[in-house]
Amino acid sequence: MKVLVIGGGGREHAIVEALSRSERVSKIFCAPGNAGIAALAQCVPVKDTDVDGLLNFARENAVDLTVVGPEAALSAGVADAFRAAGLRIFGHSRAATRIESSKEFAKQLMQKYGVPTAAYRSFSDYSEALEYVSRRPFPAVLKYDGLAAGKGVVIAATMDEAREALASMLLDHRFGQGRVVVEDYLEGPEFSFMCFVNGDDVYPMPLAQDHKRAFDGDLGPNTGGMGAYTGLPFITEADREFAYQEIMCKAASGMVSEGCPLCGVLYGGLMKTADGIKVIEFNARFGDPETEVVLPLLESDAFEVFDAIASGKPAEDIRWSSDVAMGVVMASKGYPGSYAKGFAIEGADDAGCTVFHMGTALSDGRLVTAGGRVIMPVCRGRSLAEARRLVYEAVGRIHCENLYYRNDIGHQAL
């Protein structure tokens, strides 16, 4: 079977790596891929949102199955176009992707189908939004309802901060003409629950936890994620079962009832509050960097799993290793702000573990930095302490003058 993976980050490297272990797969293409992916797949220079380019490529190369990584490709309608052309694809329709691309759609879905989440209202009018905020407890959570390059969520501690944020979103239209969702602030540890979903069929993956802040001690600016691990000691089996039944399955069947069934990954960004587990956000795709610690634990054939979801067949019993995994993101100095690129990376091939490439390139045959998040060694262990010891040993073998990383990945568990 020939498979096309769309995307070019660490998440796609992990997808490609899982597919490369399948006996059913003879050839993997990745559009656009990266320098690490190039060791396992043929990288093709087609942008992940170039729907026509991707479709033509898949047709011309007789691709049997396409797997979509990024949300941008789904929002561009790549899955709709492939299905209309009779091609098999693992990824949601544009309508189903609204569970991620529109905060208001996601909140309405949760309210309608009884999925636990923070109380909210949504507004297009500045004065009405401000009036609502003044009646709710602080801090207030303000979320722009649309694409905002990760800057659309403001946690306002005071009325002044709320006024400023709402003015920038609803009066100055900093991100565009979207509405703003105002929701109550929740507290507790966050974790990520990814499931393979095909309509009403929901297949859970191991739970993972991301680390959003740039620096040790969960300090500094929000990032795309600085590290992840599986095996969360603070989530009980009862918590997991609740999250599976009352959140993931209910959301999936709600999407069926709404006429936009899911076909791919549903990612629940969840929080364990004193009042039970609640949804912070849904994503319509694999998480990054969570995928890099979860998919290495997949023992079933990855092609069979993706193919079953894409073709609407029940997936066979999906098996996972009982090991845990931990990964540390090594990012360019300055990230998530501005950073320079093109610094040589030494030792990535001899780190002694799987090293996923997030933003790398080859320059004159040398591996160099080419993004904000650059490279992520991932190690498995029987325990988190073992996985952590191994992964930080691997980090120590990778040298690059312009990279930094967190030293405390897993601190909530260890």
> Which one among 1, 153, 315, 414 touches ligand AMP, defined by CB under 6 A?
153
Closest contact distance (angstroms) between CB of 346 and ligand GLY is 27
Query: 219: which strand partners?
Result: 215
The correct pick among 118, 202, 260, 266 for binding ligand AMP (CB under 6 A) is 118
Quick one: which H or E segment has residue 133?
helix 126-135
Give the contact letters, 194-233, x = binds to ligand AMP (CB under 6 A), - = no: ------------------x---------------------
Stretch that binds ligand AMP, among 93-101, 157-165, 184-192, 339-347 (CB under 6 A): 184-192
CA-based angle 100:106:109, to the nearest 5? 140
Element at 10 (helix H, strand E): helix 10-20
Partner in contact with 210, chosen from ligand GLY, ligand AMP, none, beta carbon below 5 to 8 Å by kind: ligand GLY
Tokens of 99: 């569970």
Instruction: List Cα–Cα distances, 163 to 37, 53, 140, 170, 288, in angstroms.
Output: 45, 44, 11, 10, 32
**Minimum distance between the CB of residue 221 and ligand AMP, rounded to whole angstroms?**
12
* CB atoms closer than 10 angstroms to residue 342: 11
Contact 6, 77 (CB under 8 A): no
Nearest approach, Cβ of residue 142 and ligand AMP (Å): 9
Q: Which residue is nearest to ligand GLY (CB)?
A: 287
User: What are 89's strand-pairing partners?
Assistant: 66
β-pair type (354-357, 373-381): antiparallel
Q: Is 258 exposed, middle or buried (0-12, 13-18, 19+ CB in 10 A)?
A: middle
**Locus of tokens 């997991």:** 240
- Binding region for ligand AMP (CB under 6 A) out of 72-80, 185-193, 213-221, 399-407: 185-193
Cα(320)–Cα(295) distance, integer angstroms: 9
- Sites for ligand AMP among residues 258-297 (CB under 6 A): 269, 280-281
Binds 225: which of ligand AMP, ligand GLY, none (CB < 5-8 Å by kind)? ligand GLY
Nearer to ligand AMP, 101 or 369 (CB): 101
Q: Give the total residue count for the chain.
A: 414
CB of 30 to ligand AMP, least distance (A): 27
Q: Does 115 bind ligand AMP (CB under 6 A)?
A: no
Q: Which stretches of the chain bind ligand GLY, using CB under 6 A? A: 210, 225, 283, 287-288, 290
Interaction partner, residue 304 (ligand AMP, ligand GLY, none; CB < 5-8 Å by kind)? none
Relative orientation angle of helices 103-113 and 94-101, to the nearest 10 degrees: 90
Binding stretches for ligand AMP (CB under 6 A): 118, 141, 143, 153, 183, 185-186, 190, 212, 269, 280-281
